[in-house]
């Protein structure tokens, strides 16, 4: 018995007459990875910019992204998100400090894990000039020493 539907939406659009162009983060996209690290020299709270993702339409594959962070002061929380930016249509996009992780407990133990948010496994971003990925420590101080490391895996159109 055949599958229903018989083909993916991307295949149906590709074979349509005329062909329907695919989203840049789907058919024929390139898989890219960027890393960034932050060496702690003193404990503190606040936001640190880690890296800038390229301009255009991207799909961040959060199930493949990783955070490694040494243990911090008790009760310290870590957030991973993005800064405010402008999409390709010129519309302002509000910052979201919890887009990729909300209140990871770095005060209880060191971290070495994938990013937990969003639950669907990916987040689509659209920017005119790129998107800054940021981390934020709140509730209590960050580690006073050691190195935090991020791996961001994303799809980008040709």
Quick: pLDDT tens for 116-130.
999 999 999 999 999
At residue 12, the pLDDT reads 82
Domain extents in the chain: 24-156
Question: How far apart are alpha carbons 37 and 135 in whole angstroms?
Answer: 11
CB 47 within 8 A of CB 134: yes
Class of residue 69 by CB neighbours under 10 A (exposed 0-12, middle 13-18, buried 19+): buried
**Domain covering 24-156: architecture:** Sandwich (2.60)
Taking only the tens place, the pLDDT of each residue in 52-87 is 999 998 999 999 999 999 999 899 999 999 999 999
């Amino acid at each position: 018995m055949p599958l229903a539907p018989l083909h993916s939406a991307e295949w149906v659009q590709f074979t349509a007459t005329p062909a329907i162009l695919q989203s840049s983060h789907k058919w024929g996209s390139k898989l890219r990875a960027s890393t960034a690290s932050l060496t702690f020299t003193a404990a503190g709270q606040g936001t640190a910019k880690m890296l800038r993702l390229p301009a255009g339409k991207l799909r961040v594959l959060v199930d493949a992204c990783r955070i490694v962070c040494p243990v911090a002061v008790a009760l310290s929380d870590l957030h991973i998100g993005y800064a405010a930016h402008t999409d390709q249509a010129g519309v302002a996009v509000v910052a979201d400090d919890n887009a990729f992780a909300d209140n990871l407990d770095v005060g209880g133990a060191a971290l070495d894990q994938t990013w937990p948010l969003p639950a669907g496994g990916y987040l689509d971003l659209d920017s005119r000039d790129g998107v800054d990925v940021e981390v934020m420590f709140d509730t209590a101080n960050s580690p006073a020493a050691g190195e935090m490391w991020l791996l961001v895996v994303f799809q980008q159109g040709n």
